[in-house]
Amino acid sequence: MEERKDMSGFRICETLCSKEKCFRLIEYDDGDMVEIFHEHVREHRINKDNTFVFLKTLLFKHSSFGDKEIFRTFLNSKGKKPEAIDFCTNYSEYPEPGVLRTYLSTSHFSAWVDEIVCPSDFRVQ
């Protein structure tokens, strides 16, 4: 079965179900997208804050950042020393009716979570 695609081009999981979250990590490798991580979990098992931290952690794990660079990604821009690093870009979108996607991207990786926010609109035929 072919997977659906949204406007950003990332695949939407065909087995996404209500009351669960679908986590994914993709690496860009010479024009190809290679899936590194894909996991489903019931939505009550992980809250919004931990979801965001987990996505960022996936990106850190697969980046070449060391401890000091990782630390600097948590700093705000109110000072100059050490300078804050804007590590990734955070986006939200609705890739299809009823689904909210939150994703973080760097130059080589994208990590995201899909969740059904309006079951009555989800994949209505």
Q: What is the pLDDT of residue 9?
A: 61
Q: pLDDT digits over 37-87, tens only?
A: 999 999 999 999 999 999 999 998 998 888 998 899 888 888 888 888 887
Domain residue ranges of the chain, discontinuous segments joined by +: 4-116
Q: Mean pLDDT score of the chain, rounded to an integer?
A: 86
The residues, ordered by sequence, that sit 6+ positions from 9 with a Cβ below 8 Å of its Cβ are none
Q: Give domain 4-116's CATH number out of 3.30.110, 1.10.3470, 3.30.450, 3.40.1440.
A: 3.30.450
Q: Alpha carbon 15 to chain centroid distance?
A: 17
2 pLDDT tier (thresholds 50, 70, 90) = very low
Q: Alpha carbon 70 to chain centroid distance?
A: 18
